């Protein structure tokens, strides 16, 4: 489809930085390092993305949390995204409803809902979205609070 539209061959780049995490899990290294006991909290905080019928963790966040756990086994999960600079501003999102949902989905702030999570039939061409995990919910809570505080100052 892209080739037909642009008239050029398509190059598909596959990002496989999650492969080392899968190998570590498959070989049981998490248990060897004492990280297995943190599985539930990592799932709550960093899992929840859903692509092509598969649940997907955010590898960047898992790697950051594992590093922190190795340095301090009592470390609690934290939102690593909140420390990243992004242009997710009210003005960018408010320009159109279509822009709002597209930006939130493509940047990972929302993910596709699983079929069993959808309560009613969607119109053709629509997708049900949801907040993927605790990390992102925390960002939404603080972002919305900030927007309300800024709007009440005006």
Query: pLDDT digits over 105-122, tens only?
Result: 877 888 888 888 888 898
Task: Confirm if 80 and 61 have CB atoms less than 8 A apart.
Answer: yes
Answer for the pair 125, 132: CB distance below 8 angstroms, yes or no: no
Q: How far apart are CA 154 and CA 148, in angstroms?
A: 10
Give this prediction's pTM. 0.57
Please tell me the predicted confidence (pLDDT) of residue 58: 81
User: What residues contact residue 135 under an 8 Å CB cut-off, 6+ apart?
Assistant: 45, 46, 58, 61, 77, 78, 79, 80, 81
Residue ranges for the chain with pLDDT beneath 70: 1-2, 10-22, 24, 29-30, 81-96, 98, 154
Q: Name which of 97, 68, 87, 81 is nearest 139 in CA terms.
A: 81
What integer pLDDT is reported at residue 15 of this predicted model? 60
Distance CA 42, CA 46 (A): 5
């Amino acid at each position: 489809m892209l080739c037909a539209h642009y008239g050029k061959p398509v190059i598909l780049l596959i990002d496989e930085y999650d492969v080392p995490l899968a190998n570590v899990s498959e070989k049981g290294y998490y248990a060897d390092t004492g990280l297995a006991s943190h599985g539930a909290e990592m799932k709550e905080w960093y899992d929840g993305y859903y692509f092509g019928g598969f649940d997907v963790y955010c590898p960047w966040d898992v790697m950051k949390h594992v590093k922190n756990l190795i340095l301090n086994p009592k470390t609690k999960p934290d939102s690593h995204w909140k420390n990243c600079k992004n242009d997710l501003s009210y003005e960018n999102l408010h320009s159109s409803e279509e822009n709002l949902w597209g930006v939130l989905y493509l940047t990972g702030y929302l993910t596709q809902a699983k079929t069993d999570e959808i309560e009613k039939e969607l119109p053709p061409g629509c997708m049900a979205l949801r907040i993927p995990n605790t990390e992102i919910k925390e960002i939404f809570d603080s972002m919305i609070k900030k927007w309300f505080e800024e709007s009440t100052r005006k």
